[in-house]
Amino acid sequence: MTNENNNGKVNMKTLAKVLNLSTATISKALSDSHEISYETKQRVLDTAAQLNYVPNHFASSLRKRQSNTLAIVLPEIADSFFSQAINGIESIITKHNYHALIYLTHESYEREVHMFNELSGGRVDGVLMSVASGTKDTSHIKALQEGGIPVVFFDRICEDIPAAQIKTDDLHSAYVATCHLIDQGCKNISLVTIDGYPSIFQSREDGYKKAVADRDINLRAHSILTLSNHHTEDNVSELTKHLNAYKPDGILATVEHLATTTYMACAEMGLKIPQDVKVICFTNQITAPILNPPLTTIFQPAFEMGKQAAELLFAHFAGKQIQIEKEHIVIPSQLIARGSTANN
């Protein structure tokens, strides 16, 4: 009796013949069904191990009308936050024998819409996403949800969509960061940010404004500088002009690449950090402690955010009684003070 199919691989029909059981019984035993006795399950598992049986997850997925695949939609991966979030997501999906397709929008609304049109064909069972800064119309996301595909937002969320959210309190984090600069003696603080729709940027601006108001610091018309959401020479040039014209003694940068922009602009101006200007940034950059001087950061728990986003999606798949669209989880960020805001 052969133990293999025509491709040389053991399949469920092989196990059924060897054990004189139906393929349905074999399938249920391998799936740990309550309909099959413990003794039969052990016979099937022992024989499967002896014959080096490897389950065909793709065929199983087709039968269940599942793809066993998730989409991770991100604006970029150059920012270390998103690479850490991917690691958190991956730590969960591998436990469930799922795969991930990573889509990069490069901050483009048009690319995001195109990707969602592809996903609507049933390629994935769910979507974990952080929206592009250019996304204002969210109808493409709503259309996917209406097609039965759940969406979980992390970090950059859409307030107008009923969907699960995993985020930090960006307003509070920016407030704490600004107060830290004030406590270090800064009186002319600039917010360096990017133009974009996602609510995190507005929340960070609101936190900055609240802090300067609460601490009786004069908020000047020029105190907020908006730059491109890409690390470019133009950004460095614009910030250099800002430093020269308004002479801030403190800078709060809202995204990771603006930290590099700030260090480069200060170097061009011959300004010393922290003696002439103190700098703090929202970033998970692993090089922050070894910059010269080490960068004070608002650290966001990216790994944990990705992990919890994936866990929420799999809880939904498992049929647990959760209303996924009402799950809003806020995870605390942490201010890590380093040399860039020190008093010498």
Rounded CA-CA distance 305/89 in Å is 8
Give me the residue label for tokens 């052969």: 2
Burial code (b: 16+ CB inside 10 Å, e: under 16) for 157-182 equals bbeebebbbbbbebbebbbbbbbbbb
What residues form DSSP beta bridges with 74?
A: 104
Taking a C-beta distance cutoff of 8 angstroms, is the pair 337, 288 a contact? no
Q: Give the closest residue to 135 by CA, choosing from 155, 167, 111.
A: 111
Domains parsed from the chain with CATH numbers: 12-55 (no CATH), 67-168+302-331 (3.40.50.2300), 170-300+335-341 (3.40.50.2300)
Is the pTM higher than 0.75? The answer reads yes
C-alpha 302/C-alpha 176 separation (Å) is 19
Number of H helices, E strands in the chain: 12, 12
Amino acid identity, position 271: L
- Residue whose pair of structure tokens reads 């020190």 in the numeric block: 342
Structure tokens given for 130: 């952080």
* pLDDT tops 90 at residue 100: yes
Task: Tell me the chain's radius of gyration from C-alpha atoms.
Answer: 26
**Tens digits of per-residue pLDDT, 290-323?**
999 999 999 999 999 999 999 999 988 877 655 6
Determine the Cα–Cα distance for residues 282 and 70; give it in Å rounded to an integer. Answer: 28
Q: Which of 195, 240, 191 is nearest to 217 (CA)?
A: 191
Residue-wise pLDDT tens digits, 184-233 = 999 999 999 988 767 888 999 999 999 999 999 988 888 999 998 777 89
Residues 49-73 have pLDDT tens digits of: 888 887 655 455 444 557 889 999 9
What's the gap between Cα 126 and its chain centre?
15
Question: Which residues, listed in sequence order, are joined to residue 146 by a DSSP beta bridge?
Answer: none
| Length of the chain measured in residues | 344
